[in-house]
Amino acid sequence: MSALFSMSAQLLAAESKAKVTVGNSREDIWFKLDPVPAPAINDAATTGVFAVVSGRVDPNSGALDVLKDGKIPGGNDEPRSNFFFSNSDEANRLTIDLGKAMPLRGIATYSWHSGSRSGQRYRLFGSDGTAEKFEKAPATGVDPVSVGWVAVAAVDTSDKPPGQHAAAVHGVDGAALGTFRHLMLEVSANEDARGFGHTFFSEIDVIPVEGPEIVRIEPPKRWSAPES
């Protein structure tokens, strides 16, 4: 972890009182990465509007909808089943508009790759959209906090082995993370000498305080021959 990113993580954690929980596995275990639960199929992100407001999407990336479809890749190197940025001098910023402000328990991000694209490094911001100078799509060079966003947390799983990664950002001691309509991930690449360090994000979940019981993905049932 770079010194700058480490310092950002400490400052953000201090400001937001958010907790980051990480799960990791080298194996394909359908993202059952205790203590982070498996991806949801009916969370608030499924009806949210995802947008890239800064940065360049890799031409081999899947569409933004792969982040909210309640599905996961079938293998550890499936570009079209994941969303990822390309190398760029711009800040890589991805936003989610939930349609209305709501109290959130937290968000969870999932990624999978056999190499350096597995780790997750991003700063999370949130807003209810009511600040006087709120900017929904802050461009490179604009500090989100100066235009109505709240610094929520910094996530870095790049020290974990390649494979399946999950990170959950949630409130401390069962408290809500906050009331937000807009979320933004400012994504940084992992270190990779070939320039292939941008994370393969497989799914992003947004878990509200209120609403239906969250349903998680289940592994496929394995066929077995009937007993004779």
pLDDT recorded at residue 71: 94
Q: How many CB atoms lie within 10 A of CB 214?
A: 15
Across the chain, how many H-helices and E-strands are there? 1, 8
pLDDT recorded at residue 97: 98
Residue at 187: amino acid letter: V
Q: Using CA of residue 81, residue 184, residue 167, residue 4, what is the dihedral sign? A: positive
Element at 208 (helix H, strand E): strand 201-208
pLDDT in tens, the chain (228 residues): 444 344 344 434 334 579 999 999 999 999 999 999 999 999 999 999 999 999 999 999 999 999 999 999 999 999 999 999 998 778 899 999 999 999 999 999 999 999 999 999 999 999 999 999 999 999 999 999 999 999 999 999 999 999 999 999 999 998 999 999 999 999 999 988 788 899 999 999 999 999 999 999 987 765 555 665
Domains and CATH numbers, the chain: 3-208 (2.60.120.260)
Residue closest to 199 by CA, chosen among 73, 138, 113, 95 = 113
pLDDT recorded at residue 16: 52
Q: Are 31 and 46 in contact, with CB atoms under 8 Å apart?
A: no
What letter does residue 56 receive in the DSSP assignment? Answer: -
